[in-house]
Structure 1
Amino acid sequence: MSKSVNLKAALIAGGVAGVISGLVKLGWENVLPPRTPDRDKTNPPQKLLEKFGVPSSLTHATYTYSEQKLPWVSYVIHFGFSTSFAVLYSVAGRYVPFIRAGQGTLFGLGVYGLFHHTVMPAMGVVPSPKEQPAEEHISEALGHIIWMWTNHIISDEVYDQIMKKVNS
């Protein structure tokens, strides 16, 4: 158990890492899309919000960049999720080092398993794991590994840089 943790530094490091890893995860999903175009017409963040009563007109709201319509509401949820878990990992991993096993890759697989095999299917946001195509499992499992490994690397570097300034 680590005793000298700078909580403010860990929070900042996790926040920075979450934004960067959110971009990495979006990029990953362009290389290996987890869902078919038909299933992505209403993506999981949109479907989750609609389950909570947010109207489709808002969940499907877009902005245009480079002549492409992009789902800004989905991005808010995506980056909120990414940043929340990066902060959790950054802070909790400094108090309970086991969380950092495998440089975050095991934590990322755990998040994938919990949300894509249990929470989201139970909420009706995605189909049951047996009904999800293999491509979705591959993309999401590998994407979560890379996402959390990015959180690990970035949060460690930012934390170390902050601590160098604090200690100098």
Structure 2
Amino acid sequence: MSTLLAVRPKSERNIELAIWAGIVAGVISALVKSGFETLIPPRTLSTTPPPVVLLEKLGFNVDLMTYEWMGYSINWGGNGVHILFSIVMAIIYCVAVEFLPRARMLHGVGFGVGVSVFAHGLVVPLLGLSGWLWLAGSQALISEFVGTAFWIWTIEAIRRDRRYSIPRNKL
């Protein structure tokens, strides 16, 4: 248990690189999660996605936050919130790994599941953006947790690539 919380020495940390990796990984992983949710949706067609509900609660007219693409109406506002959340969480993860390398255990999936439980199991319902995660049904849970595993795996793959492919003295 003592190695679980082992802190990386300050001289070996690269916070600037972790932040940049988090930004890149956040954008790319948001696209991965969105693609996964297209194949295995986390909610019914009649359920409004939490990012859209958040924008509505903040007073934004989400009907004006759309664009047309090949006959589809795409809500850039909801997608923007989704991408922004992914960037913030990816930065937190990448920086956390600089301090606590064991946060990347299981390719980050433990961290990702924790984020999912915290965000979709606590914060989202408490803000009234969606119902309680454990009441969503097995299909929603499968979508949420498997999609989250792909999401965090993508973040960790990009973080690891950036962390170990750029020599520290080149920054």
TM-score, normalised with respect to structure 1: 0.89
Partner residue in 1 for 2:38: 30
Q: Are 1:66 and 2:74 an aligned pair?
A: no
Q: How has the CA–CA distance of structure 1 residues 147 and 65 changed in structure 2, closer, same or farther, with 3 Å as cutoff?
A: same
For residues 92-117 of structure 1, the C-alpha deviation after alignment (integer angstroms, 9 at most, x for no partner) is 11111232121110011001111111
Match 2:60 to one of 25, 31, 54: 54
SS of 2:68's equivalent in the other structure is: strand
Q: Tell whether 2:136 aligns with 1:128.
A: no
SS in 1 for 2:13: coil
Q: Following superposition of structure 1 onto structure 2, how do residues 139-158 of structure 1 map, counting pairs within 5 Å?
A: 139-158=143-162
- Aligned equivalent of 2:105: 101
CA distance in 2, matches of 1:29, 1:47: 18
**What code does the residue aligned with 2:142 have?**
I
Counterpart of 2:55, as a letter, is L
Provide closer, same or farther for how the CA distance between residues 162 and 71 of structure 1 changes in structure 2, counting only shifts above 3 A.
same
Q: What whole-Å deviation, never above 9, does each CA across 1:108-146 have from its counterpart, x for those lacking one?
A: 100111111111111111112343122111100111111
Give the distance between the partners of 1:86 and 1:129, measured in 2 at CA.
Answer: 22
Q: One-letter code of the match for 1:137?
A: L
Q: Which residue identity is paired with 1:28?
A: F
**Which TM-score applies when normalising by structure 2?**
0.88
SS of the residue aligned with 1:69?
strand
Q: Secondary structure at the match of 1:54?
A: coil
Structure 1 segments, 4+ long, off by >3 Å, are: 55-58
Count of residue pairs the alignment pairs up = 163
What is the Cα-based RMSD across aligned positions, in Å?
A: 1.7
- Counterpart of 1:15 in structure 2 is 23
Change (3 A) 1:6 1:65: same
| Structure 1: stretches of 5+ with no match in the other structure | none
CA contact (8 A) 1:9 1:163 kept: no
- Identity of matched residues, %: 36
